[in-house]
Amino acid sequence: MDLLLLKTLVGLFSAAAAAILISKLRGKRLNLPPGPFTLPLVGCWLQIGNNFDHHHLVNYAKKFGQLFLLRMGQRNMAVISSPELAREVLLKQGKEFGSRSRSIVFDIFTGKGQDMVFAEYGDHWRKMRRIVSVPFFTNRAAVPSGVGGGGGEGGGGSEEEPAAAEEGVVLRRRLELMVYNNVYKIMFDKRFESEEDPLFVKLKRVNGERSKLGQSREYNFGDFVPILRPFLRGYLKTCREVARRRFNLYKDSFIHNRKSVGASRKGMVEKNNDLKCGIDHFLEAQKNGEINEDNVLLLVENMNVAAIETTVWALEWAIAELINNPKTQAKLRAEIDTILGPKNQVTEPDTHKLPYLQAVIKETLRLRMIVPCLVPHMNLHQAKLGGYDIPAECRIYVNAWWLANDPTHWKKPEEFRPERFLEEESNVEAHGNNIKYIPFGVGRRNCPGMLNAMAVLGITLGSLVQNFELLPPPGQSKIDTAENNGQFATRMLNHATIVLKPRYV
Residues annotated as binding site for heme? 447
- Cβ closer to ligand HEM: 41 or 361? 361
Residues of the shown chain interacting with ligand HEM in the complex, contacts defined by CB under 6 A: 116-117, 129, 132, 136, 302, 306-307, 310-311, 314, 370-371, 374-375, 439-441, 445-449, 452-453
Phi and psi for 326 in degrees, rounded to 5? -60, -30
Q: Enter the DSSP assignment of 101.
A: -
- Cβ closer to ligand HEM: 306 or 322? 306
- Distance in Å, CB of 505 to ligand HEM, minimum: 32
- Cβ closer to ligand HEM: 136 or 200? 136
- Distance in Å, CB of 445 to ligand HEM, minimum: 4
Sequence ranges of the binding site? 447
Alpha-helical (H) ranges within 2-122 are 3-29, 45-48, 54-64, 83-87, 104-109
- Distance in Å, CB of 102 to ligand HEM, minimum: 12
Residue 398 · residue 78 · CB < 8 Å: no
- Distance in Å, CB of 131 to ligand HEM, minimum: 11
Which of 426, 468, 450 is CA-nearest to residue 336? 468
* Number of residues that this document lists for the chain: 505
- Distance in Å, CB of 132 to ligand HEM, minimum: 6
- Cβ closer to ligand HEM: 279 or 307? 307
Which of 79, 71, 8, 78 is CA-nearest to residue 41? 71
- Cβ closer to ligand HEM: 232 or 383? 383
Which DSSP helix (H) or strand (E) runs through 278?
Answer: helix 278-287
Edge-to-edge strand order for the sheet containing 67-72?
67-72, 75-80, 394-398, 377-379, 99-100
Q: Enter the DSSP assignment of 253.
A: I
Q: What is the dihedral of CA 491, 329, 169, 190, to 10 degrees?
A: -70
Q: Of all residues in the chain, what percent are helix, strand and coil, respectively (each to 5)?
A: 50, 10, 40
What span, in angstroms and rounded, lies between the C-alpha atoms of 374 and 280? 30
Give the sign of the dihedral formed by CA 144, CA 343, CA 321, CA 328. positive
Q: Which residues contact 204 (CB under 8 A, 6 or more apart)?
A: 176, 180
- Distance in Å, CB of 130 to ligand HEM, minimum: 11
Residue number, nearest CB to ligand HEM: 449
What span, in angstroms and rounded, lies between the C-alpha atoms of 287 and 415? 52
- Distance in Å, CB of 116 to ligand HEM, minimum: 6
> Residue type for 308, please?
I
- Distance in Å, CB of 181 to ligand HEM, minimum: 13
Which DSSP helix (H) or strand (E) runs through 491?
Answer: strand 490-492
- Cβ closer to ligand HEM: 138 or 286? 138
> Residue type for 281, please?
H
What span, in angstroms and rounded, lies between the C-alpha atoms of 18 and 74? 13
- Cβ closer to ligand HEM: 73 or 432? 432
- Cβ closer to ligand HEM: 216 or 446? 446
